[in-house]
Amino acid sequence: MADLQPDMPRTAEAGEDDAPPDAPPSLTTLPALPAPPARSLRQEEPRAPEPHTPGGVLLDQAHALLAAHPVADGYSGLPWALRQQPRYDLEQGEATIDTDLPRMREGHVGALFWSLHLHDGSGAGRATALTLEQLDHARSVIESHPDGLRLVRSAGQVIDARNCGRVSVVLGPAHATALDDSLGVLRILCALGLRVLTLTGTAWAGEGGLTRFGEEVVREMNRLGVLADVSGAPETTAERVFALSRTPVLCSRSAARALRPHPANLPDELLAALGAARGLCMVPLIAEQTGPTVQDVADHLDHVREVAGPESVALSGTYDSGVVHPRDLADASRYPHLIAELLRRGWSEPELALLTWGNVQRVLRSADFAARAAQHRRPDPL
């Protein structure tokens, strides 16, 4: 029902159009507020908004902003986590996992990318079958929560879902191994709803970069509207995909290597190249990659915005994916705390709107357009 989400969207559907042409100056002039107490206050009373403290004012502003520009979360491990549960009800809330509908509403999550990555060692030789099982499981979770979740395949359907007060679920990323080296399998997985593929771990997208077949995979992904994810891929692969892809590319779980030397984090040159290609660096809420505090995450977001540009930065909650999150960002309800920190640092409303929602919308829509254009040009390859 349309009344399930308290805040009906008031914005236009286009990502870049989401931001009002003249953003309220009050938001951009806020950083003069005293900073130090905010962190400890939030830690002591994490859930209670405090309208009379500076942190509380920022938190209220963050909630208001997210009500208009919700979070499109680039990586959620929820389907896999639910497979480990004997039973669950996302509508009631589930204490053993990080994500459920009440907390997504509290955190203003409007869309989720559901990872279909495989977790157990039995993937060898069975990756396609296991990915089909993951897809089937994801569908069944969505179907059993019709009032909360909606499976979407296109940017337009994300808007429809939001207008109906549903959280959009985009299927992917899946691992490239799921293709079993076959473009036919890619087409079939896309027919079953897959929208993102991580280009690592295969003979054609491995440590040596992208082979000619790998390039054909990227072209076919463009033709189908499946987004390429190069998080964790060697730089040669990432650069080649940036150059080859006719639509922007994702780094579904990458922060800034200049700040923290994790292999999945992107060096500045790659961040700049990603920005030039209008792709997305989706900064993960993973302590190992960003550091253990909200401020550390904000530092990465500042840096990515600086190097790749405000149109190339987005968020990956990475909840329920078996990682340790920064303090204060332990579950899907905590996004307002991160946004409050960014407000404190002077991020403008248009920039925050791009970060949480607009950039992901732009990239999804671009993939849809590129696919339609390519299908007019190219017949199916073999």
Partner 1 sequence: MTSLDEARSLLREFPVVDGHNDLPWALREQVRYDLDARDIAVPQNDHLHTDIPRLREGGVGAQYWSVYVRSDLPGAVPATLEQIDCVRQLIDRHPADLRAALTAADMEAARAEGRIASLMGAEGGHSIDNSLGTLRGLYELGVRYMTLTHNDNNDWADSATDEPKAGGLTAFGREVVREMNRLGMLVDLSHVAATTMRAALDTTSAPVIFSHSSARAVCDHPRNIPDDVLERLPGNGGMAMVTFVPKFVLQAAVDWTLAADENMRAHGLHHLDTSPEAMKIHRAFEERTPRPIATVSTVADHLDHMREVAGVDHLGIGGDYDGTAFTPDGLDDVSGYPNLLAELLERGWSKADLAKLTWQNAVRVLGAAEDVARGLQATRAPSNATIESLDGDV
Which helix (H) or strand (E) element contains residue 246?
A: none
Report how far residue 355's alpha carbon sits from residue 95's, in angstroms, rounded to the nearest whole number: 28
* Residue 184 touches partner 1, criterion: CB under 8 A: yes
Q: Kindly tell me which residue out of 153, 187, 219, 260 binds partner 1, with binding defined by CB under 8 A.
A: 187
Q: Is 103:331 a contact under the CB 8 Å cutoff?
A: yes
Residue with Cβ nearer partner 1 (122 or 163): 122
State the minimum distance, in angstroms, from the CB of residue 185 to partner 1: 5
Q: Kindly tell me which residue out of 4, 64, 192, 373 binds partner 1, with binding defined by CB under 8 A.
A: 192
Q: Kindly tell me which residue out of 60, 106, 180, 306 binds partner 1, with binding defined by CB under 8 A.
A: 180
207 phi-psi bin (left φ>0, alpha ψ -120 to 50, beta other): alpha
Residue with Cβ nearer partner 1 (217 or 270): 217
Q: What is the DSSP letter of 148?
A: T
Residue with Cβ nearer partner 1 (187 or 262): 187
Report how far residue 92's alpha carbon sits from residue 101's, in angstroms, rounded to the nearest whole number: 8
Q: What is the DSSP letter of 144?
A: T
State the minimum distance, in angstroms, from the CB of residue 183 to partner 1: 8
State the minimum distance, in angstroms, from the CB of residue 12 to partner 1: 34
Reported residue count of the chain is 382
- Residues 300-319 touching partner 1, rule: CB under 8 A, are none
Residue with Cβ nearer partner 1 (189 or 287): 189
Residue with Cβ nearer partner 1 (137 or 327): 137
User: How many residues touch partner 1 (CB under 8 A)?
Assistant: 24
Binding segment toward partner 1, per CB under 8 A, in 96-104, 178-186, 290-298, 337-345: 178-186
- Residues 116-145 touching partner 1, rule: CB under 8 A, are 125-126, 128-129, 132-137, 139-140
SS3 per residue for 333-353: CCHHHHHHHHHHCCCCHHHHH
Binding segment toward partner 1, per CB under 8 A, in 28-36, 181-189, 284-292, 336-344: 181-189
The amino acid at 53 = T
State the minimum distance, in angstroms, from the CB of residue 144 to partner 1: 8
CA of residue 256 relative to chain centroid, distance: 16
- The sign one gets for the Cα dihedral 79, 82, 83, 84 is positive
State the minimum distance, in angstroms, from the CB of residue 211 to partner 1: 19
Q: Using alpha carbons only, how large is the chain's radius of gyration in Å?
A: 20
Report how far residue 59's alpha carbon sits from residue 372's, in angstroms, rounded to the nearest whole number: 41
Binding segment toward partner 1, per CB under 8 A, in 89-97, 188-196, 235-243, 343-351: 188-196
Token match 């530092």: residue? 299
Residue with Cβ nearer partner 1 (13 or 133): 133
Which residues does 140 contact at the CB level (< 8 Å), separation at least 6? none
Token match 């303090």: residue? 327
State the minimum distance, in angstroms, from the CB of residue 22 to partner 1: 48
Residue with Cβ nearer partner 1 (33 or 129): 129
Residue with Cβ nearer partner 1 (153 or 187): 187
Which helix (H) or strand (E) element contains residue 151?
A: strand 149-152
State the minimum distance, in angstroms, from the CB of residue 190 to partner 1: 10
Token match 């337009």: residue? 156
Interhelix angle for 212-224 vs 183-191, to 10°? 20
Binding site for partner 1 (CB under 8 A): 125-126, 128-129, 132-137, 139-140, 179-180, 182, 184-185, 187-189, 191-192, 380, 382
